[in-house]
Amino acid sequence: MAAIGIIGSGSWGVALAALLHKNGHQVTIWSAFEREIESLKTTRKLKTLPELVLPEEMTFTADLAEAMRDKELLVTAVPSIYVRQTAKKMRPYCIAGQIVVNVAKGIEEHTLMTLSDILEEELPMANVAVLSGPSHAEEVSRGLPTTCVVGAKDKATAEQIQNLFMSPVFRVYVSPDILGIEVGGALKNVIALAAGIADGLGCGDNTKAALITRGIYEIARLGIAMGGKFETFSGLSGIGDLIVTCASVHSRNRRAGILIGQGCTMQEAMDQVQMVVEGVYSAKAGLELSQKYQIPMPIITEVNQVLFDGKPASEALQDLMLRDKTSESSALLWEKD
């Protein structure tokens, strides 16, 4: 049995807390908001996961030192925009070699740092890893079969995390490609916004398949230019996570996109979803990265224009369809020119 601290009391953190408890571990959930902690203590439920009842043995606290003290593993499960400020708060209590596995997905705007980069900068004493893949909290909390991948700098750390999370309904693979895992996890949210916008415009399955296929092509080209590996983008944290986020009823990014396609502004859509829409925060970073590495990313470019420049969604879709003619893959050679 391991002592584990969950840093964040949102749907994903709570779903993983329940999984880890069922695996036999001692779990403590932390939130910065005393009101949330009191609600969890009293009701043992989270309104976004209505079927899940949290066990009496689980501990809840608003004291970060208590959540981190003597923990074999810390799971950072706060929204990506709060990772840096949360890590700053964690620093006084983090000990040398303590494993911190990040489960949020995003890239910091302006610095263009991945979330593991941020954690390593703010917690230089920690052993930072990531866990990602096609894994909606709603389904994990119900015990539906799910697969994810753990990325770490050394195999022993990855396998230690794998052993803690692995269960009959939660299969975990290991990978050394932390960068590729994070790029795929962050930018798939932007493509999911595009998929939702297409749904909101009344497009069909053909459009969705095109966005998923061309979306992973954009993400992979950028990720490989940044140093990620092709195999990662064809795996769980790449095409796997992209498929589920573009197609699922649980996807907040797709839901926000649908509202935008139906005529809502970005802010109106976020207000209706009532949860953090990570793709909105990753979109600008994705565009900046495409410019930095000189990788054309037409879908992500159009999403940015719809979100931040007021471009009508129908016009963005038409511009994607009417771009200059090109080959599907520049790497393939013709037998005859």
Is pLDDT at 42 greater than 80 in this prediction?
yes
Domains of the chain as residue ranges with CATH:
3-176 (3.40.50.720), 179-321 (1.10.1040.10)
- pLDDT above 70 as % of the chain: 100
Strand 59-61 and strand 26-30: the pairing is parallel
Give the C-alpha distances (Å, rounded to integers) separating 256 from 57, 85, 240, 273: 36, 26, 20, 6
pLDDT of residue 330: 82
Question: With bands split at pLDDT 50, 70 and 90, how would you rate the model's confidence at 266?
Answer: confident
- pLDDT above 90 as % of the chain: 88
pLDDT of residue 273: 86
Q: What average pLDDT does range 10-27 have in this prediction?
A: 97
CA-CA distance, 291 to 289, in Å (whole number)? 5
pLDDT in tens, 102-153: 999 999 988 999 999 999 999 999 999 999 999 999 999 999 999 999 999 9
pLDDT of residue 329: 86
Residues 158 and 151: beta-carbon distance below 8 Å: yes
Supply the pTM of this predicted model. 0.94
State the catalytic residues: 188
Is pLDDT at 331 greater than 90 in this prediction?
no
**CB within 8 Å of 264: residues ≥ 6 apart:** 272
Question: With bands split at pLDDT 50, 70 and 90, how would you rate the model's confidence at 275?
Answer: confident
Is pLDDT at 277 greater than 90 in this prediction?
no
Q: What average pLDDT does range 16-21 have in this prediction?
A: 98
Query: What distance lies between CA 66 and its chain's CA centroid?
Result: 26
Is pLDDT at 337 greater than 80 in this prediction?
no
Mean pLDDT over each residue of the chain, to the nearest integer: 95
